[in-house]
Chain A
Amino acid sequence: MRSSKYIEDTEDFYQNAPCGFLTCDTNGRIAGINDTLLSLTGRTRESTVAVCSFSELLTTGSRLFAETHIMPLVKMQGFVNEVSFDMRAADGMTFPVLVNIRSVQSDQEGEEYYRLTVIDYTLRKRYERELIEAKRDAESNAEMLRIANTDLQHFAQIASHDLQAPLNTVTGLIQLMEIKGLLKRNAESEEILDLIFRNTRRMKSMISDLLEYQSFRESDSDFERVSLGEVCREALEGLAGEVEATGASFDIGALPAVSGAKIRLVRLFQNLFSNALKYRSEAPPAVLVSSREEGDKIITAVADNGTGFDPSHAEKIFGFMERLQSRDQIEGTGIGLSACRRIAESHGGSIRAESVPGEGSVFFVTLPRA
């Protein structure tokens, strides 16, 4: 049927509209009601029209609200929109309704009447309450998290400080024994001493890594435009000793700027570079840094010619304190790459790795463009 030919049966539309219609006088007395609303409330026209008032269709609480606030408001401004009431059906069941009200003047006597549309919104109301509950939960959870985070930060600071102090004392005391000649020098004691120093060193770096790891929680409010080229240069400066010792070469191409926190990004790349030096093959390490744009992201690739890793471990290497090698082979805390991931994610970015064992690895860092 073409819509222009369609003739609306207005009486039928009124009576069986997909929402309730009601007309009442300014005192609320019902002058007219459609079939939809009658069946919704389980009432008959005879027991309703000219017999009861609109507010009598409501629960007592809703009636209080209607009579003290909504009806006076309609009287004064001529309309209200989206008022939520609870309606009580003849069988005592209640259901939520959304009501709009408009004031009209009747033709005959110029008397004022109110027209109401009434929509049963039981399901929508359930969503609403769920949303409110969810919002409340989310808000209280966020608050609890905030408190827990602050406590944790506090704890980590105190714990690491308290751990570091006795460690420093132990190292110092052993050095003092050595200086004062209290230790017997022979091959065996040299080896034990070496082990002691290596372990204390490892514990120190672990503590400082841990401390740094938990400090990456800062908000992104300190984000600024950061040149990746500069970030890589600073990262390299921090590794000058190792670079020289290993005879490594770095090829850093032209890199764009990203939006981020510089100190954290330097740390990220320093960790990657340091890994490239640490997990090197026989050949002197060669690291290539390049980047490309993808939408509003910058993807930077850090490729090395090191030992690489089994590709099935591409995720595992970013785990917190996860290590593929045992400590005896290569020193490390297993925090470096998980810190990298954490830094990348705190920038709204990501990090992943690919590798061919024996040939090298490539780390892809995605960061937001400046």
Chain B
Amino acid sequence: MSLLQEPLIQRMLIVGLLVGAAAPVMGTYLVQRRMALLGDGIGHVALAGVAAGWLAGAAFDLAKQDALAIPGAVLFAIIGAVVIERMRSRGTAADIVMAILFYGGIASGVLLIGLAGGSNANLLGYLFGSISTVTWGDVWMSVGLAALILVIGLGLRAALFSVTHDQEFARSTGLPVDALNMVVAVLAAVTITVAMRVVGVLLVSALMIVPVAIAQLLTRSFSRTMHLAMGIGAVLTLTGIWITVFQDIQPGSLIVVLGVALYVVVAAVTSLLKGVRR
């Protein structure tokens, strides 16, 4: 129990819980719209934002070199999400949009960090997550952003379900479809920058999608899928972080591996049960 009184462990668990519960909310909408990989595209753009923030920090001669890294990531991720949404609504093929973002994001990230006088090693924490370095400032920012995701993502569930389920019907009812699409894109971007801290850019999408995939195996209702995925996401991140307290393992990768393992187990058990019922 004394471990729980360690401030670092407290911070890690708070951020883990928030991210684990909030990420699947937006993940559910992305899966609903069949854009499960959108998070990867935005994540790579966020990486360029991290590097741009780093560059800005160097230019302003800030004491803490990466002070602007997360704000840069948030800004770039939102711009990236808005661009994707625009291109998508104008009918550009989603895979082409994604490819441009992937390559553009990672290449400009490496380029910018070099210009800032950093090395690729500085980017590693963002690529794979660095939850063991969270400060109380990071915690408060995570609390704020996670609250935003939860309040809007859950509060507008009916409207967001309608728009992601059947856009044409939603438009016929008079819902502000374009604005709601933008809400999904921007909140997805915010989710990614919050989750980046825990699992890193490369695995950020997993935290949004894998819990939804597991929940999908267990329930047929959209709202229950979302709620269950939130629970699964929270348990996975807390478990992963708790294990790394005792074992020197990368938490981000552990959380995702736990999630994928759980998916395999649940998929096997549910298909076995279906077989038995027949």
The answer to whether A binds B is: no
> Which residues from chain B sit less than 8 Å from chain A, CB to CB?
none
